[in-house]
Amino acid sequence: MNNFLRPSLCPLTLQKSMIVLFLQCLLLCTHLGETTRNPITTCVSKGPCKCSLSDGSAELDLTALAGNNSKPKYSNITGSDGDRYWFDPCLGFSLSEPANDSCTDVAMCRYAVEQDTYFSCGKPQPEYLYFEQNNSVTLIYNNSENGIALKLTAVVVRCIESTNDRLLVHGRDTHRPEYYNMTLETKYGCLQRSPPPSEPSHGVSIGTMLIVIALSGVILYCGVGFLFQRTVYGAQGMDQIPHYEFWSSLPGLIKDGCGFVSSNCKTKQPEGYDSL
């Protein structure tokens, strides 16, 4: 019985598989289409605490938050996990606490209270991640050996209007103890938008020059002709207009020319004239 029913089930299973495959292809094509229409914008590093969006529209500059080699910008900050943290977004620093050789030339250091031990949680020169959804940048610091990241710190930079910046240390990730999360709230976290590029000036076009020359010629012709007619010939009234007879007859000449063209260039025969 089972062998008899199995062939009848195969076409149904194959049909379902084809439907699932078709839907997966459809989703993949949709995703590729969205990616093509909305290319991913990244923040390219321009230094230890500066990056510029890949499309050139904005820049993040945290240089004003730099400390020095012996004292980081944020020192002895208590995290939500009870441990203490030191952090500098720009420069590497070295702590001078007794018996501390773990936090040398680091961007972030953690002091585990229970273990009474210092840990390096990230080296200087972070990577920058730009999130277009909330228009923010995240700094990624890692402490690696032989290409393997031992600890990693993610610092979300938030833009605020207040002049007082604040560092919020959320501590270690509950699912990944080697990952640390922080939020840096500062007015320097606001992306500085670049002004749109100005269009190059092409100067005065040839058409504009021709129009200016023509208008200048007309004004000069009328002014000089008016003075000439009045002073030399003593003309009065409409006779002061230069070549008045020509300009007054010009509309009639234009009318006759248009009529001649519209009649297929045939002249009107006078009455009483017999054609050959």
Residues 225 and 184 in one domain: no
Shared-domain flag, residues 53 and 168: yes
Residues 139 and 252 in one domain: no
Q: What is the pLDDT of residue 147?
A: 58
| 28 token code pair | 């993949």
pLDDT in tens, 201-252: 566 778 888 888 888 888 888 888 788 777 877 777 777 788 777 777 878 7
Q: For the chain, give the mean pLDDT.
A: 75
27-51 pLDDT per residue, tens: 445 444 443 444 457 888 887 788 8
Phi, psi of 121 (to 5 degrees): -110, 10
What is the per-residue pLDDT for 173? 79
Q: Amino acid identity of 276?
A: L
Q: Which of these three, 158, 193, 228, is where a domain ends?
A: 193
In a domain, 15, yes or no: no
Is the pLDDT score of 22 beyond 60? no
Identify whether residues 214 and 186 lie together within a single domain: no
Structure-token pair, residue 203: 């100067």
- How many residues appear in the chain? 276
184/218 same-domain check: no
Q: pLDDT digit string (tens) for 89-114?
A: 888 888 876 566 778 888 888 888 88
Handedness of CA 208, 209, 212, 218 (dihedral sign): negative
Q: Do both 129 and 243 map to the same domain? A: no
The whole model's pTM is what?
A: 0.55
Domain total in the chain: 2
| 94 belongs to a structural domain | yes
Residues 53 and 133 in one domain: yes
Range of the domain at 111: 43-193
Angle at Cα 194 formed by Cα 191 and Cα 195, nearest 5°? Answer: 140
